[in-house]
Amino acid sequence: MSTEVSNGHSPLDRITVIELAGPPGAWAGGLLAEFGARVIKVSRAGAAPVRWGTTGMRPLTSPEERERYAAFNPFDRNKESITLDLKKAQARQILCRLVERADIVTEGYRPGVAGRLGADYETLRRINPRIIYCAITGYGQGGPYRDMVGHDINYSAMAGLLDLTGPPGSRPSTCGIPVGDWMGGMSQAVIGILLALVARHTTGDGQFIDVALTDGIVSTMKGHIASYLETGAAPKKGETVSHGGAPYNDVYETKDGKFVAIGCWEPHLYENLCRALGLEDLLPLQHAAGEDRERVKRALTRAFLARTRDEWFEFLRDRDVAVAPVKSLPEVLEDPQVRHREMVVELEHDRLGKVKQAGIGIKLSRTPGRIRRLAPPDGRDTEKLLRELGYSPGDIQHFQKDGVVDRYEGDR
């Protein structure tokens, strides 16, 4: 089920990525695929396909369920999928053939696992010295925590992010998305890969990229770290300007029980806010502390209860005030700005009809990202890829019989 959405050249048209071992590497591969890379996702043969979602992980038990999940899965769109049991020698040989023709390998195994599977950098670089190999782990390839298992919440806790999230005096709070996986894993991996591609253009050599989610989260806190190292005063939850510590940068309840977000950092924006609300007496108090700051907060809190969320948005947006309604996800997907920016796209599926997905966030004027095909169920391209590597139908049947690859039963 291939869905062609756009045609033309892309920045990574001639780049091939071999993707091992799930998110956040899968999310990095998805972004590279949107900009033209050929991404071949390697799933474990013999394993039940798994749904990653907002309700957790669970197996996909039927072909129909797998097909539907794939149709709505934006992270694997544009990819091809092969199953391999890398514990078997023949599967490792197939991987080596794939790597011979590839530019990039991404993997998310715990340190040491790739080596045991014959899929580590030192092994693969002997096959292809130009290979760029990106290993994404929680704590990195070295250090006392390298072998610890973990997930986003653990890395965010270790990096100090959870300690700064939430109202003053509250228990640590997580974000609404796995921010560590995205900022510390996916984005750092993509940046590292693109930097390595630039370097390879100059040197001709590939290299190893060691991405640790904890490192990535710590690096996003450079502002807090710089302030602490300069002043010796550690930031506290709910007291930083960016997180509830300033009335001009906070969330306020409105008449209808909803909320607006105000972000008037600049003096002229704060002045616009005060004048729009008829609170000119607060003009000298933008950076007030103690009781005066509480006075500002109380005055703004009372003022915003006079109108509904949407009324305040329409009123303040035309008065050059940094305001936004706090929207639910369904509201976001219907928002005219989100629609105009094509951040919700409608795609055609052969059997399910029209399906909607999140659009592509990065807009390039000459080589835009493209959705060339919907995500494949695990293993859909196995036979095609094996034939492309030179294996005969007899070889493929042998691999299927021995569990080296799975026999794909969909589309039949």
C-alpha to C-alpha distance for 10 and 372, rounded to whole angstroms: 11
Please enumerate in sequence order all residues whose Cβ is within 8 A of that of 363, keeping only pairs 6 or more positions apart, or say none.
341
Residue 198's Cβ-count burial label (10 Å; 0-12, 13-18, 19+) is exposed
- Assess contact for 135 and 141: CB atoms under 8 A: yes
**80-84 and 38-44 beta bridge pairing:** parallel
CA–CA separation, 320 and 307 (whole Å): 18
User: Are 270 and 248 contacting, i.e. CB atoms less than 8 angstroms apart?
Assistant: yes
Q: Pairing state of beta strands 38-44 and 16-20?
A: parallel
> Alpha-carbon distance 250 to 116, whole Å?
50
Nearest Cα to Cα of residue 117 among 79, 87, 74, 147 = 87
Residue 379 in contact with residue 84, Cβ under 8 Å? no
What whole-number distance in Å separates Cα of residue 165 and Cα of residue 244? 10
Q: What is the DSSP letter of 259?
A: E
Reduced to 3 states, what is the DSSP secondary structure of residue 266?
Answer: coil
Catalytic positions are 181
Which residues neighbour 59 within 8 Å (Cβ) at sequence distance 6 or greater?
48, 49, 50, 51
Q: How far apart are CA 367 and CA 67, in angstroms?
A: 30
